[in-house]
Amino acid sequence: MTGFLSGVATALITPFTKDGVNFDALGKLLEHQETQGADGVVVLGTTGEPATITLEEKKEVIIFARNHMRNMKLIVGTGGNCTENAVAMTKLAESLGADGILAVTPYYNKCTQKGLAEYYRTICAATSLPVIAYNVPGRTGVNLLPATMAEIAEIPNMAGIKEASGNMAQVMETARRIRGKCDLYSGEDALNLPILAAGGSAVISVVSNIVPADVKRLTEYVAQGNLKAANALSDALLPLADACFAEVNPIPVKAAMALLGYDAGLPRAPLTEIEPQHLDLLRKAMKNYGLEIVK
């Protein structure tokens, strides 16, 4: 299927206190995305730290987000390295009002391409919602190849692929094979512009936690064919994006939101607080971008 998502969906952080999810802070983060024009949010994606969130907390996050969103699409991360659990999470997300599913490739197991195809067929068969495949081999240890994506693109509710392989040759080949069948989404902020120019219909962005309106504007410039403005904005965004990946995501972006005055909390163990030298780098990048540091 095509046309599920355009513009920008923010891979949202999950704010924590020492006792659990900070729902007051989560509400403010959702309001920030809504008022700044984001088209959707992804909760419980990689940036949301689902590996260290309990099932009960996941339910609460989905319900809270559904009840506190007006005009944005709610996409829920449900993938995992156990197909049965991924199916169960997908069914739960649908029952709680999700608009779409983001299913990361199975991590650690290192399944074959056949295993990947079966994984996505099983998830798609378990839901009526649009499903987005998420390819991020640097974190999962498995790479969803273009030929395999072309195969699963035939599934009626396969909405597209969030591409974060970092390999533009592969991205281009995937785009060629799935064009008109399902959509291509950028999952890597450093490559938002070239992926959009290659026909990507949206970005699923980490940096848009910080500047959703500007990332949305980038997608609009490309859609309008205004590549001069798109290049200028991308040039400005890239140093900020680089700083947001100075350590493993979401450590820097949570620190960035704290610098902007949001009660983002610390990442959950085994992730740790950002190192001082990376915090300095992040603060400098944010100031150079023109952001007001309040903390």
What's 187's domain CATH number?
3.20.20.70
Considering the domain boundaries, does residue 233 fall inside one? no
Give the pLDDT of the chain (295 residues) as one tens digit per residue.
999 999 999 999 999 999 999 999 999 999 999 999 999 999 999 999 999 999 999 999 999 999 999 899 999 999 999 999 999 999 999 999 999 999 999 999 999 999 999 999 999 999 999 999 999 999 999 999 999 999 999 999 999 999 999 999 999 999 999 999 999 999 999 999 999 999 999 999 999 999 999 999 999 999 999 999 999 999 999 999 999 999 999 999 999 999 999 999 999 999 999 999 999 999 999 999 999 998 7
pLDDT of residue 280: 97
Considering the domain boundaries, does residue 174 fall inside one? yes
Distance in angstroms (rounded) separating the CA atoms of residues 64 and 217:
28
pLDDT of residue 144: 98
134 is catalytic: yes
Considering the domain boundaries, does residue 127 fall inside one? yes
Considering the domain boundaries, does residue 281 fall inside one? no
pLDDT of residue 138: 94
Indicate if the alpha-carbon torsion angle 222, 224, 228, 232 is positive or negative: negative
The residue range of the domain holding 101 is 7-221
Q: Are 45 and 78 in contact (CB under 8 A)?
A: no
pLDDT of residue 28: 98
pLDDT of residue 134: 98
pTM: 0.96
Considering the domain boundaries, does residue 267 fall inside one? no
Q: Which of 58, 73, 119, 134 is catalytic?
A: 134
107 is catalytic: no
Q: Which of 162, 185, 216, 262 is catalytic?
A: 162
pLDDT of residue 260: 97
- The kind and range of the H/E element at 289 are helix 276-289
Q: List beta partners, residue 75.
A: 42, 100
The domain tally of the chain equals 1
Distance in angstroms (rounded) separating the CA atoms of residues 204 and 170:
18
Cis geometry, peptide bond prior to residue 156 (ω within 30 degrees of 0)? no
Considering the domain boundaries, does residue 292 fall inside one? no
Considering the domain boundaries, does residue 258 fall inside one? no
